[in-house]
Amino acid sequence: MASETSPRPGTDARAWRHGALVGAAASVGAASATFALSGGVAALVARHVVTPSTRPGNVTVLKLEKDPNSGQDLVTLPATPDTRVAGTYALRFDEGRGLARIGFVVRQTGGTVTRLVERVYSGELSVGARGWWTGTVYARPSDAGLPYEDVQIPTPLGAAPAWFVPAEVDDAARAGTWAVMVHGRGAQRAECIRGARVARRLGLHSLLLSYRNDGEAPATPDHRYGLGFTEWEDVQAGIRYALEHGAMDVVLFGWSMGGAIVLRTAELTEHRDRLRALVLTGPVVDWYELLAHQTKVHRVPRRVGRMAADMISHRLGPRITGLAAPLDLHALDWLSRWEDIATPTLILHSTDDEVVPVAGSVKLADRSSLVDFVGFTGARHTKEWNIDRKRYERAIEKWLPQHLGSQRSGPQYPGPQ
């Protein structure tokens, strides 16, 4: 093929040069088209990251039956990387109105998996029902056997609903410490119930927050996530509420993007002197690394992730993302800013997290003496509790008391009146 396009000795060199210029122009055009395509994909990625969205109903109930021996209900679902994993999960169905807690795997056959139905909290689970798989197994604290009260947190945008879960024993030694809990992207405060159980046993009152644009708290005019850059103000409001209702100290819990929010809060809150510790599950510690990971997983050129990050951060980015103002992702890059972490931090993170790469958490723990890391295997994103609840809670029970130290006894909680 090369001999057909290369000039032979004695032929007109001008014709060859013309062909070369045409070829070069075509190459530049192709490169420009590729760059434009990458830019278009990057714009989609940037918008997706900051836009709250509903979860797709991608799991279908194929069969319902009774176990012939135990009489317990069983459900058969398509076998996916999520539905095959051991542990306890939930199936949200009927556009989120229905909730069923799903237990251990009974059998796997070909492309299906059959699991125990532990309990249906709401809705009617039926063959053909479509929904999504989630680690949020309880709709409200009472589903987990936890007492709670509905409270309202005064935030900069208005009153945001929250749950107050009292300590198991109102231990005078720890009555002054509250756990303030922050859910992740695409989730709501129910995600935090998994952490409230262990906090309650440790003698901590818990406050499970909602925050801007999560579908429960007041929204911002742009209806966009701030990836931690803006939501921290709502967490600070939660801390203030705790302090006004008897707390002397606070421990912040965060899941996924909630981890990014917690780290930002710990840096900026006016109540930094009241923070005792951070407990983070599958946290986003660097949005650049996360976007790079996701582009790799989806076989998209790495530059697309960087372009998306630049669109989110650039002053002209809001034209693309819909954000009211650009977000400084460098301020949320704790792999670069690890020296700014000033609060003892525990990270629980699975090596099989398909959304947020565990490498960031490992690097952060290696760099900062204030960060401790507990690894899990097999668990999907923020489902460390689901795959091994005992180990997850035991890790917190072992680590957290060391950082609470000798507690200052605060006023007894008077109740949200």
**Model pLDDT for residues 66-104, shown as the tens digit of each residue:** 998 899 999 999 999 999 999 999 999 998 899 999 999
Residue 107 shares a structural domain with residue 244: no
Residue 175 shares a structural domain with residue 101: no
Whether the pLDDT of residue 22 is over 90: the answer is no
CATH code (residue 243)? 3.40.50.1820
Pairwise pLDDT comparison (342 vs 21), residue with the higher score: 342
- What are the DSSP E strand ranges found in 211-263? 249-255
Residue 279 shares a structural domain with residue 386: yes
For residues 370 and 342, is the Cβ–Cβ distance under 8 A?
yes
Q: How many domains does the chain have?
A: 2
pLDDT at 171: 53
Beta-carbon neighbour count of residue 336 at 10 Å?
13
**pLDDT tens by residue, 118-171:** 999 999 999 999 999 999 999 999 999 999 999 999 999 999 999 999 998 755
Q: Which residues pair with 152 in a beta bridge?
A: 161
| pTM of structure | 0.88
Residues contacting 175, CB < 8 A, separation 6+: 167, 203, 205, 246, 407, 409, 410, 412, 413
Residue listed under structure tokens 């030694």: 173
Residue 123 shares a structural domain with residue 96: yes
Distances, alpha carbon 259 to alpha carbons 106, 171, 184, 224, 319, in Å: 34, 28, 8, 18, 27
pLDDT at 24: 36
Q: Is residue 16 part of a domain?
A: no
* Centroid of chain to Cα 389: 18
- What are the DSSP E strand ranges found in 146-265? 149-155, 158-165, 177-182, 205-209, 249-255
What is the rounded CA–CA span in Å between residue 112 and residue 87?
17
Q: 332: closest CA among 267, 271, 275, 382? A: 267
Residue 108 shares a structural domain with residue 206: no
The first and second tokens of residue 283, run together, are 């946290």
Q: Is residue 36 part of a domain?
A: no
pLDDT at 146: 97
Q: Is residue 310 part of a domain?
A: no
Gyration radius from the chain CA atoms: 25
DSSP string, 145-171: T---EEEEEEETTEEEEEEEE--SS--
Q: Is residue 28 part of a domain?
A: no
* Centroid of chain to Cα 215: 15
The most confident of 54-68, 326-340, 396-410, by mean pLDDT: 326-340
Farthest CA pair distance, the chain: 99
Distances, alpha carbon 326 to alpha carbons 42, 288, 289, 317, in Å: 16, 15, 19, 6
Whether the pLDDT of residue 330 is over 90: the answer is yes
Residue 37 binned pLDDT confidence (cut-offs 50, 70, 90): low
Residues contacting 315, CB < 8 A, separation 6+: 326
Residues contacting 184, CB < 8 A, separation 6+: 191, 254, 255, 256, 257, 258, 259, 282, 382
Find the domain containing 76 and state its range: 59-134
Residue 281 binned pLDDT confidence (cut-offs 50, 70, 90): very high
Whether the pLDDT of residue 255 is over 80: the answer is yes
Residue 272 shares a structural domain with residue 357: yes
pLDDT at 342: 97
